[in-house]
A and B are shown apart, each in its own frame.
Chain A
């Protein structure tokens, strides 16, 4: 696509997104959009490690939970503004990611994926049993009646929309910067063939840790946002394996290893989940997962590259 066209499309798209909550003022569509942004951001963050660098983490909820719990605990114990808590959460997530990466990056392929599941389970179980941090009952974020910026709580829910959009754009920007830099090339080389990468002078372990750090930090930002938006967190909502899987699914559906794939995946899956929930009533929870499961199988067989790959194939045929 010629540059001018891409730029115009991008700006128009952005303008539409910015205008959305002003046009559709009802809370429900706004809430759906916020969730699309949040999941798209989480999937974009995951994509940096898994899509570009090829390290399939199935325990990414760990970083989401770290962000959520850190900012929440700091608000409750120190009254620290969640904005600062967000940064601390991101820093903690990075530290945790390096700690996890050290043993786990020695593994390759399926071994690595399983180890990340194990880590995720460990952290969730620990948090369930850590009563000081709420345990299984979870934590409520104290409501700030003034609805101020410092407290990261807003009477006017539209502000959440713009913050979520902002975080998503940040994640996309970071991904784009990496994609075009030496780091991006090195990530992809590691994904394709670690040995060849090493033979070309790439310190593989160091770059994997870098990918992990970026991914973890971004994911943690989402965790803090979630905590401030929903005002309640517990291990079941911010640390479960199902969340880790959902993040992967979104990225894979849209196109893993591409810039826009995760956003496309979220834009498809979140509304799809909503529709199944609405139309299939009480049993919706299981049915939409049945559909997800089926979808994943179909994608993996027919087009592991996701929607982005399908679009590229279509373009090549018509171009």
Chain B
């Protein structure tokens, strides 16, 4: 375990952390709006990755080129999910809400498996490839681009919710639904918008990941778990908080793998999560 390997790991963890943060941001946004955890978030990611892959396989569109399309497609998916499913369980008991998105997750994942099989797919020869050397450290260009892209998307999201009228309306709805509607904000539209944007975030993340990551029906599962932990760590509903949490999760994942055992890298993340929760149930920055 040299300092170099450790440093390499830290950089790698940091980079992935931004991607986790973006995925988690969408989840956090949705929860903040209506206190529903989208248990199908991993499957949204999986679909974004498949969409990117097929755009490449069928039409030779490079992931970075098809990114806007993927984001738009996922926005529509989120929108449709709200109107087709979520709208009907808004007032239902929590169990019903959990199972609604859980059912969607199982449905999407199995459908993907039934349609596309269990094989792993990989985009070959993407526009972004190779690696660069920064002060003795090697950083894969795809990972760097994905990370920077995710960070930019995250910053844009944050700018959107804090500086634009629609974004502020979203925040208002999240903080106090009744007050927001009394102020003339159409909460239905806000919910649908929230789902659309939340899914679009995952769309961007998925497109970026497809540059270098294998695509298969179960791929969403592990990302989803890390995303839930990231959101819970940062505090449900706190979008800026997920950036810090994402980086923490990314670092712990890598360091756990390096310092303890590669097979246990997820375990380290989860154990960390449970420890944080023991100390602060609402996460690092959350309001309960």
Q: Do chains A and B touch in the complex (CB under 8 A)?
A: yes
Contacts of A252 in B (CB 8 A): 95, 99
B interface residues, Cβ below 8 angstroms from A: 31, 35-37, 85, 88-89, 92-100, 102-111, 113-114, 225, 228-229, 232, 236, 261, 263-264, 266-267, 270-271, 273-275, 277-278, 281
Residues in chain B near residue A286, CB distance under 8 A: 110-111, 113-114
Q: Is the CB of A107 within 8 A of B281?
A: yes
B228 partner residues in chain A, CB cutoff 8 A: 114, 117-118
Q: What are the residues of chain A within 8 A of B236 when measuring CB–CB? A: 110-111
* A248 proximity list for chain B (CB < 8 A): 99
- For residue A223, give the distance in angstroms from its CB to the closest CB of chain B: 21
Give the residues from 102 to 130 in chain A that come closer than 8 angstroms, CB to CB, to chain B: 102-104, 106-107, 109-111, 113-115, 117-119, 121-122, 125-126, 128-129
Chain A residues 8 to 30 lying within 8 A of chain B, measured CB to CB, are: none
Chain A residues within an 8 Å CB radius of B274? 103-104, 115, 118-119
B114 lies within 8 A of A129 (CB): no
Contact of B263 among A110, A119, A128, A245 (CB under 8 A): A128
Task: Out of B99, B106, B278, name the residue touching A289 (CB < 8 Å).
Answer: B106
Top 5 nearest A-B pairs (CB, nearest first) are A293-B107, A296-B103, A293-B106, A289-B110, A304-B96
If A118-B274, A286-B114, A293-B108 touch, does A301 touch B85 (CB 8 Å cutoff)? yes
**In the complex the two chains form, what is the Cα distance from A304 to B104 in whole Å?**
15
B104 touches A293 (CB 8 A): yes
Which residues of A have CB within 8 Å of B31?
110
In the complex, are the beta carbons of B110 and A293 less than 8 A apart? yes
Residue numbers of A with Cβ under 8 A of B are 50, 54, 56, 102-104, 106-107, 109-111, 113-115, 117-119, 121-122, 125-126, 128-129, 245, 248, 252, 256, 283, 286-287, 289-290, 292-301, 304
Which residue of chain A lies nearest to B105 when distances are taken between CB atoms in the complex?
A293
Q: Are B95 and A107 in contact (CB under 8 A)?
A: no
A114-B232, A290-B110 given; A126·B267 CB < 8 A: yes
Q: A114 near B229 (CB under 8 angstroms)?
A: yes
Which chain A residues border B94 with CB–CB below 8 Å? 56, 109-110
Judged by DSSP, the binding face of A is: helix
Q: What's the Cα separation between A125 and B268 when bound, in Å? A: 11
Check if A304 sits within 8 Å of B92, measured CB to CB.
yes
Contact between B277 and A115, CB atoms less than 8 A apart: yes
Of B105, B110, B263, which contacts A129 at CB under 8 A? B263
Question: Given A113-B98, A125-B263, A301-B96 in contact, is the A119-B270 Cβ separation under 8 Å?
Answer: yes
Chain B, residue nearest A296 (CB): B103
- Distance in Å: Cβ of A127 to nearest Cβ of chain B: 11
Contacts of B232 in A (CB 8 A): 111, 114-115
Asked if A290 and B273 make an inter-chain contact with CB atoms under 8 angstroms apart, the answer reads no
Interface of B is mostly: helix
Instruction: Say yes or no: B111 contacts A103, CB within 8 Å.
Output: no
Q: State the Cβ distance, A58 to closest chain B Cβ, in Å.
A: 8
- If A300-B92, A304-B96 are given as contacts, then 12 extra A-B residue pairs at C-beta distance below 8 Å, sorted by A number, are A103-B274, A109-B35, A109-B94, A290-B107, A290-B114, A292-B110, A294-B103, A296-B106, A297-B104, A299-B103, A300-B95, A300-B99
B203: min CB distance to chain A, Å = 21
Give the complex CA separation of A292 and B37 in angstroms. Answer: 20
B264 to A125, Cβ gap below 8 A? Answer: yes
Given A107-B281, A129-B263, A295-B103, A56–B98 Cβ distance below 8 Å?
yes
Complex interface: chain B residues within 8 A of A290 (CB): 106-107, 110-111, 114
Q: Select B100's contact among A109, A111, A119, A297, beta carbons within 8 Å.
A: A297
**Which residues on B sit within 8 Å (CB–CB) of A110?**
31, 35-37, 94, 98, 236
**What are 23 pairs between A and B in contact, CB < 8 Å?**
A102-B278, A103-B275, A103-B277, A107-B281, A111-B236, A111-B281, A114-B228, A114-B229, A115-B273, A121-B267, A122-B266, A122-B271, A125-B263, A125-B267, A126-B267, A128-B263, A286-B113, A292-B110, A296-B103, A300-B89, A300-B92, A300-B95, A301-B89
Compute how far the CA of A54 lies from the CA of B95 in the bound complex, rounded to whole angstroms.
Answer: 8
CA distance A245 to B102 in the complex (A): 9
Bound together, the chains give a CA A304 to CA B35 distance in angstroms of 18
Determine the residue in chain B with the shortest Cβ distance to A251: B95
Tell which of B103, B267, B273 touches A293, judged by Cβ atoms closer than 8 Å.
B103
What is the distance, in angstroms, from A85's C-beta to the closest C-beta of chain B? 27
Kindly list chain A residues whose C-beta atoms are within 8 Å of the C-beta of B102: 245, 296
Bound-complex Cα distance A12 to B94 (A): 37
Q: Which among B99, B106, B110, B273 is the interface contact of A299 at CB below 8 angstroms?
A: B99
Task: Please give, as numbers and ranges, the residues of chain A lying within 8 Å of B261 by CB-CB distance.
Answer: 129
